């Protein structure tokens, strides 16, 4: 039997009402599933990179909206996650690095969803603010772990501890529960159990699925351990240590290639970068399986047409660009992230939407979908008008993209970095280090190979961008 989605039912009901009729009861808001992957490159999806197998993520893109210009305002786990959860920039939520920070005074957006009737659940990696794995405000159900967590239950334990039967634990609604399996699968098991037996099915639900994968050191599930053995992985041309690639690059970038976050001594090991990325892609396969299991559940239970799924990463990842790996810096592979949204009846099918999407915009967008009012401290804006096609991407006015990264004592190789992108011009400035600034025309130079900082033709643009950057970084 044909079944209208929540989104369609609301529209049909409004059209069917005679002018004198009373306003009908508001239909149940859509369910929302937000899937966050850790350290996933913008192009690490099968429909973008030949040879990768991510059929379920690809299906979201094929049947939904793919946003190729999704970015994060701080490319580091904790600051980016805090921006997603609070709707605020790093300079205002003040979770500036991955070390233990205060969450005092912060409100996480799922609290506002609770206020309009949603049941909310968190699964996975919190790694933001306090190092505790205790349940946080805004979530009715909680499954998490401390810090980075581990891929397998006995990772990080001594042989003596393993022999004694000790395993890593999860915090499930405030109780310590022994781990049982591979983390991506285990989190998905908890999610599906809650969907099936733990929630009030008369209410809309919001799920925040926060995967550990594919954070280093990436460890695949045993079923994927031999995958991609023959996959050819080519490093970008800028990975080579040549005079042409060094030209115009700050000294800290040139030096970092021989460090923990550089291609010449990556993670202080002799491991080759292509070998690392094979495990990275293998580890992604379990995430794709998780997406597939979620889609299957929604479909079998008649929920798919009433649910918005958003898939993205907390930050990007370099694959050797400019001799670097990891994230933190303001180069494109660091700040760009994969993002796909799927919602039959709300979003168009098979669309590539060129609008710029920031992690700063996630909270206001999801509240808009739920019919909740955005609070005054939010700094982003809802993307619903451009995502639905109500406003064409070409007519959508992008806000300036301001980027900030703060020097972290545990990984001191990357300096405090501020950047601004307006149109296709990107200006990068470094704080606390005497080094070269950078300016790139991304329309002509998407790989950021030609530094225009001293080009007279771009002098006015440089001065304007610098002024705009300082203005936007001003304390509120």
* pLDDT given for residue 100 in this prediction: 79
Percent above pLDDT 90 for the chain: 89
Instruction: Say if residue 242's pLDDT is above 90.
Output: yes
Contacts 24+ apart (CB under 8 A), 224-229: 224/282, 224/283, 224/285, 224/286, 225/282, 227/53, 227/281, 227/282, 227/285, 228/51, 228/278, 228/281, 228/282, 229/278
Q: What residues form DSSP beta bridges with 70? A: 357
Q: In the predicted model, what is the mean pLDDT of residues 362-370?
A: 98
* pLDDT given for residue 11 in this prediction: 44
* pLDDT tens track for 290-346: 999 999 999 999 999 999 999 999 999 999 999 999 999 999 999 999 999 999 989
Q: In the predicted model, what is the mean pLDDT of residues 416-436?
A: 96
Q: Name the token pair of 156.
A: 């990080």
* pLDDT tens track for 455-473: 999 999 999 999 999 999 9
* pLDDT tens track for 54-109: 999 999 999 999 999 999 999 999 999 999 999 999 999 999 999 878 899 999 99
Instruction: Say if residue 9's pLDDT is above 90.
Output: no
* pLDDT given for residue 5 in this prediction: 52
Q: In the predicted model, what is the mean pLDDT of residues 277-298?
A: 98
Instruction: Say if residue 167's pLDDT is above 90.
Output: yes
* pLDDT given for residue 101 in this prediction: 83
Q: Which residues contact 31 (CB under 8 A, 6 or more apart)?
A: 204, 205, 206, 207, 303, 306, 307, 308
* pLDDT given for residue 6 in this prediction: 52
* pLDDT tens track for 136-158: 999 999 999 999 999 999 999 99
pLDDT band at 476 (very low <50, low <70, confident <90, very high): low
DSSP state of 457: G
Strands (DSSP E) contained in 38-172 are: 65-66, 70-71, 119-125, 141-145, 169-172
124, 209 contact by CB (below 8 A):
yes
Q: How many CB atoms are closer than 10 A to CB 450?
A: 13
Unique residue bearing structure tokens 């299957």: 296
Which among 62, 64, 82 is positioned nearest to 72, based on CA atoms? 82
Question: Measured in Å, how far apart are the chain's first and last C-alpha atoms?
Answer: 54
* pLDDT given for residue 1 in this prediction: 32
* pLDDT tens track for 249-259: 999 999 999 99
* pLDDT given for residue 252 in this prediction: 97
Which among 387, 386, 200 is positioned nearest to 308, based on CA atoms? 387
* pLDDT given for residue 7 in this prediction: 55
Model confidence, pTM:
0.94
Q: In the predicted model, what is the mean pLDDT of residues 181-193?
A: 98
Instruction: Say if residue 51's pLDDT is above 60.
Output: yes
Q: In the predicted model, what is the mean pLDDT of residues 112-136?
A: 93
Instruction: Say if residue 25's pLDDT is above 70.
Output: no
């Amino acid at each position: 039997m044909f079944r209208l989605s929540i989104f369609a039912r609301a529209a049909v009901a409004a059209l069917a009402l005679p002018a004198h009729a009373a306003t009908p009861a508001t239909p149940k808001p859509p369910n929302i599933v937000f899937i966050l992957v850790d350290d996933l490159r913008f192009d690490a999806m099968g429909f973008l990179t030949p040879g990768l197998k991510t059929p379920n993520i690809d299906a979201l893109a094929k049947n939904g909206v793919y946003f190729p210009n999704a970015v994060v305002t701080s490319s580091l786990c904790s600051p980016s996650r805090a921006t997603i959860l609070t709707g605020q920039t790093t300079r205002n939520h003040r979770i500036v690095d991955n070390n233990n920070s205060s969450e005092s005074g912060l409100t996480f957006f799922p609290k506002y969803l609770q206020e309009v009737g949603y049941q909310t659940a968190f699964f996975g990696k919190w790694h933001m603010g306090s190092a505790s794995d205790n349940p946080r405000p805004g979530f009715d159900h909680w499954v998490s772990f401390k810090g980075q967590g581990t891929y397998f239950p006995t990772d990080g334990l001594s042989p003596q501890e393993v022999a004694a039967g000790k395993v890593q634990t999860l915090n499930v609604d405030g109780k310590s529960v022994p781990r049982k399996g591979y983390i991506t699968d285990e989190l998905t098991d908890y999610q599906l159990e809650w969907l099936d037996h733990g929630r009030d099915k008369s209410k809309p639900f919001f799920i925040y699925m926060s995967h550990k994968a594919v954070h280093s050191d990436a460890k695949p599930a045993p079923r994927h351990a031999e995958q991609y053995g023959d996959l050819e992985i080519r490093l970008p041309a800028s990975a080579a240590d040549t005079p042409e690639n060094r030209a115009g690059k700050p000294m800290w970038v040139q030096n970092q290639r021989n460090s923990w976050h550089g291609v010449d001594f990556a993670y202080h090991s002799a491991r080759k970068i292509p070998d690392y990325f094979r495990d990275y892609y293998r580890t992604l396969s379990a995430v794709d399986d998780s997406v597939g299991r979620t889609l299957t559940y929604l479909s079998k239970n008649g929920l798919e047409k009433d649910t918005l799924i958003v898939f993205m990463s907390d930050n990007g990842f370099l694959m050797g660009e400019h001799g670097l790996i990891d994230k933190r810096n303001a180069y494109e592979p660091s700040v760009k992230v994969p993002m796909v949204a799927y919602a039959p009846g709300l979003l168009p099918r098979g669309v590539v939407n060129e609008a710029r999407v920031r992690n700063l915009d996630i909270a206001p967008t999801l509240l808009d979908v739920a019919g909740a009012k955005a609070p005054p401290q939010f700094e982003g804006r809802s993307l619903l008008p451009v995502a639905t096609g109500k406003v064409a991407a070409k007519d959508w006015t992008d806000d300036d993209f301001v980027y900030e990264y703060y020097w972290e004592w545990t990984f001191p190789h990357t300096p405090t970095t501020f950047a601004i992108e307006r149109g296709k011009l990107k200006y990068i400035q470094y704080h606390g280090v005497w080094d070269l600034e950078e300016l790139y025309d991304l329309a002509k130079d998407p790989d950021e190979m030609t530094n225009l900082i001293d080009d007279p033709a771009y002098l006015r643009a440089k001065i304007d961008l610098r002024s705009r950057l300082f203005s936007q970084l001003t304390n509120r």
